[in-house]
Amino acid sequence: MESKFYSWYDKHKDPDNVYPPAMDSQFALNILIDYILGEDWYVVDPLSNNQINTVAVDCILYKCSKKYRKEVKQHHKGKTD
């Protein structure tokens, strides 16, 4: 099974150009969501696509970045409700 990324990459690469092809930012985020959060990841809340992007970035950073998890803990620790 060929990856979604390499399928796209092979379709869009230019053999005369040493640089990778340009990728739409939404498609790039969708690739990251599929690989990092899983193809079955979704948001059930009625949010706009841009709001879902925010949720996805937060989830990806929390899953992949120890530094980000530490920042989240510090952020929540500083809040007084």
Q: How confident is the model at residue 1 (pLDDT cuts 50, 70, 90)?
A: low
Q: What is the pLDDT of residue 3?
A: 85
pLDDT for 14-42, tens place per residue? 999 999 999 999 999 999 999 999 999 99
User: In angstroms, what CA-CA distances link 10 with 1, 3, 4, 21, 74?
Assistant: 14, 11, 10, 9, 43
What is the pTM (predicted TM-score) of this model?
0.82
Long-range pairs, 66-72, Cβ under 8 A, ≥24 = none
pLDDT for 46-81, tens place per residue? 999 999 999 999 999 999 999 999 999 999 988 755
Q: What are phi and psi of 6, to 5 degrees?
A: -70, -30
Q: What is the pLDDT of residue 72?
A: 95
Q: Report, in this order, helix, strand and coil percent for the chain, each rounded to 5.
A: 65, 0, 35
